[in-house]
Amino acid sequence: MHPPNSTPSVASFERIVDEYQRRLYGFALRMTGNREDAEEIVQDAFVRAYRALGKMSAEQRADLRLQPWLYTITLNVTRNRLRSKRPSNVALDALADPDAILRESHEGPAQPEAIVEQNTEIALVEQALLQLPMHLRAAATLRFIEGRSHPEIAEILNQPIGTVKSHVHRAVRILRRILGPQIGRFIPEGAPDHALS
């Protein structure tokens, strides 16, 4: 007899972990800038997902869209973790004034504890991303690094599509300011999507 909502078997959940761990880890890493944090966040997110699955009815599970749901859990775990780890008012300042972020970064706080890459140019981009307020960082990461569509991001962040578009847009504006004229240096000749034809 298979009850309607018994706990999912460990083996079937293992397949889910296998399939999604890289994506979720990449996302958590870009959100935190720290490999250790990202590992722990992904572990925590999977355990939460497992618990939640055990509480769902068969219909709820059938209706579940696994990928956006897993991203949402990962984002929530990340948020809780960053919030408890280093409270910062950078995000609020940035809402009112993107330049505040630039000033903050020159003054020195809000630096990631461990930079993922030693390559200077890549490290500059990583750092810039980490200076965004969390909601803009999530939007930009999902859009450009994870390559998700606007409707998918809206589902993950539980926001209207219009809000997602505006967050992506604002994130790019701020990154443009942070990276400023250096941006050109990063793009190799003939990179796709770059030059206007």
Partner 1 sequence: MRCRDVEALWDELRGECQASLKETVHSHLRACPSCQGMYEQYEGVAYCLSTLPRPEPSCDLAKKVVTHIAAIKGRLYPPIVISAVTTPVGKLYIGLKCDRIAYVSLDTGEAPEEVLARVERRLHRRCVPGESPGWLLRALESFFNTWTVDDALIDISDLTPFEQEVLRAAASIPPGEVRSYAWVATQVGRPKAARAVGRVMARNPLPLLFPCHRVVDSSGDLHDYFYGLEMKARILEMEGYRG
Can you read off the two tokens belonging to residue 195?
């030059």
Q: Are 103 and 113 in contact (CB under 8 A)?
A: no
Can you read off the two tokens belonging to residue 126?
């990583």
Here's the x/- map for partner 1, 4-23, by CB under 8 A: it reads as xxxx--x--xx--xx--xx-
Sequence-separated (6 or more) residues with CB below 8 Å from residue 41:
28, 31, 32, 74, 77, 78, 81
Least Cβ distance, residue 43 to partner 1 (angstroms): 5
Nearer to partner 1, 89 or 149 (CB): 149
DSSP letter assigned to residue 142: I
Backbone dihedral angles phi then psi of residue 110, each to the nearest 5 degrees:
60, 30
Least Cβ distance, residue 6 to partner 1 (angstroms): 5
Q: How many residues make up the chain in this entry?
A: 197
Binding site for partner 1 (CB under 8 A): 1, 3-7, 10, 13-14, 17-18, 21-22, 25-26, 29-30, 35, 38-39, 42-43, 46-47, 50-51, 54-55, 57, 116-117, 122, 125-126, 129, 140-141, 143-145, 147, 149-150, 165, 168-169, 172, 175-176, 179, 183-184, 186-187, 191, 193-194, 196
